[in-house]
Structure 1
Amino acid sequence: MVRADDGVAFFESKIRPVLVEHCHACHSAEAAKAGKLKGGLRVDHREGLRKGGDSGPAVVPGQPEKGTLLASLKHTGDIHMPPKGKLPDAIAADMERWIRMGATDPRDEKSTGNVVKSGLPWSFTPPKATGAESPGEIDRFIQAKLAQNKLVQLKSADK
């Protein structure tokens, strides 16, 4: 059985960098805002991958053969991604392993964009505490790195 920490660490070290480098330009909130979203697929948050796009779910946790992502990366299905050429087999193997592990993905849609309801740039909005029960994206990244190195976070110091 795979521990959640192992899944997050694997995602952060092997999967997220590939999605950012090779997929975000056409399959993210930024692509959608620019009118360049391809195939209705968003890979910049967990539900986007699971819901998928026009061709169906991109990822079905535990079942790599049922989603479109792996076949697209391997160039074995009708869709070949990325369009500029096939990625190394090691990347496809990592994707397959990640999906078999349960496709752990700590990202939610709220944490992927810089959209602020006030209409002001995000840099003009005052910071707000998220609380320990709802860590932000950077907190999940730090927790993954700590877990990967078998370290624990210290408690907050008294002020």
Structure 2
Amino acid sequence: MRRYFTLILLLCAILTAETKFAEPEPSFADPRQIVFSIKSADDAEIHHVLSSANNVLKFYGPDNVQMRIIAYYHGIKALQSVHKDIALRVRALMLLGVEFVACGNTMTTKNINKSELIDGSEIVTAGIVEIVERVKEGWVNIVP
């Protein structure tokens, strides 16, 4: 019986543990800067990145996060408007201030025109370089 009581106490402690913010705490004036990348055309992997981004926004609040999601290689699929279920989620995240970035090199290689992308997508020369530059500026690169 004592073992179960200890197990219940431990479980309660775990469930009530909260994340402690690093200083300075995230705010509108000093948001967490986060970059995600999408490099796979696999729907499940794309949705996983989008869900992870959504979870970060829910935790911090959209006003306390600056977020860029970079799509390159086969992941460019995530920004093509023909993929309706993915496009719906991307647009919803855009409404929360998430910036979506397409790799221009990938677009050239795959013969993708800007008109095929979801409206509001930004195009950069190289997606990988975009990630490097954001990390160099102090952004956190999350690879779910």
Tell me whether the two structures share a fold, i.e. TM-score over 0.5.
Answer: no
Q: Which structure shows the higher strand fraction?
A: 2
Based on CA coordinates, which of the two structures has the bigger radius of gyration? 2
Could you say which structure has the higher helix fraction?
A: 2
- Scaled by the length of structure 2, the TM-score of the pair is 0.30
